[in-house]
Amino acid sequence: MQALTNRAQEVSRKPMTFMERLYIPSILKGMAITFSHIFKKQPTIRYPEQKREFSPVFRGLHVLNRDEEGRERCTACGLCAVACPAEAITMEAAEREVGQENLYREEKYAAKYEINMLRCIFCGLCEEACPKDAIYLSETFAPANFTRTGFIYGKDNLLIPNPVTEPEAYAAAKGQRN
């Protein structure tokens, strides 16, 4: 039979020599290897103090965006929910009333917008589907929670802080993205 690789070795059934039966030479060899590891660099990242940098294309928790005047961009068109392969997004649309022009950018807005973070696979297809640039994935990830319902994020969790009234919080939430 032809060997699949050139790394195949014939099994040796030779009885061990006296030196091999002592084990000590091979044990010393192994100890030299472990000793050399004392001087090796540790790859550990000491987590809470030291955080690993995400790559610039990291897809984390979703953020519902606002425009420069602090109005919600989302029009509840539902394209993100359609695009979502995990069916994690649900929303309810509502009509903008007179006097709410400073809250919502267009005449229709999302009264309820929920993403189930346990279902979400963080693929970013919602971000691509959105015609209004209203949803994008940020640089953080969902923290642990005690209940399953805690992972269903509503608008209160997803909406980015208002850039007019809270510019610092807005900048922090926006992160390094565009």
Question: How far apart, in whole angstroms, are the C-alpha atoms of residue 137 and residue 64?
Answer: 9
Site for other proteins in 88-147 (CB under 8 A): none
Tell me the window of 27-35, 92-100, 112-120, 148-156 that interacts with other proteins (CB under 8 A).
27-35
- For residue 20, CA distances in Å to 10, 16, 17, 25, 35 come to 19, 6, 5, 8, 22
Among 1, 6, 14, 35, binds other proteins (CB under 8 A): 35
Tell me the window of 42-50, 91-99, 125-133, 149-157 that interacts with other proteins (CB under 8 A).
42-50
Among 7, 13, 14, 46, binds other proteins (CB under 8 A): 46
15 binds other proteins (CB under 8 A): no
CB 66 within 8 A of CB 110: no
19 binds other proteins (CB under 8 A): no
Q: What are phi and psi of 150, to 5 degrees?
A: -65, -20
Tell me the window of 38-46, 72-80, 107-115, 138-146 that interacts with other proteins (CB under 8 A).
38-46
């802080």: which residue's tokens? Answer: 161
The distance of Cα 75 from the centroid of its chain, to the nearest Å, equals 25
Structure tokens at 37: 């590891």
Among 1, 4, 33, 98, binds other proteins (CB under 8 A): 33
To which H or E segment does residue 26 belong? helix 24-36
What does the binding site for other proteins look like in residue numbers (CB under 8 A)?
21-24, 27, 30-31, 33-35, 37-38, 40-44, 46
